[in-house]
Amino acid sequence: MIKRKIRKELEAKQNELKMNLENNYKDLAHDALKELQTTVEAYKDSGELKEKDYLKYKQLVDHYAMRMANYHH
């Protein structure tokens, strides 16, 4: 089970990413994706994110990365 603080932070970063994608802000969406990925990795490395939860968020990050693969100006 993820701590409430960590879950809220990851949800906020995910919501920011969704909002930027919906508004077609490509640069901001890429930045939000990198920030989400960095945060997920940092929590995993520190041990605050269990393997099961890490895999869930990693799959989410990978999904957005594939979706945004062709986002260029």
For 12, 18, 70, 72, the CA distances from 39, given in Å and listed in that order, are: 11, 16, 23, 24
Domain ranges of the chain: 4-67
| 49 token code pair | 């994110």
Query: What is the per-residue pLDDT for 30?
Result: 93
pTM, whole model, 2 decimals?
Answer: 0.89
For 10, 33, 40, the CA distances from 18, given in Å and listed in that order, are: 12, 10, 16
> Are 40 and 54 within 8 A, CB to CB?
yes
pLDDT at residue 14 greater than cutoff 70: yes
Three-state DSSP state, 50: coil
Question: pLDDT for 21-57, tens place per residue?
Answer: 999 898 999 999 999 999 999 999 999 999 999 999 9
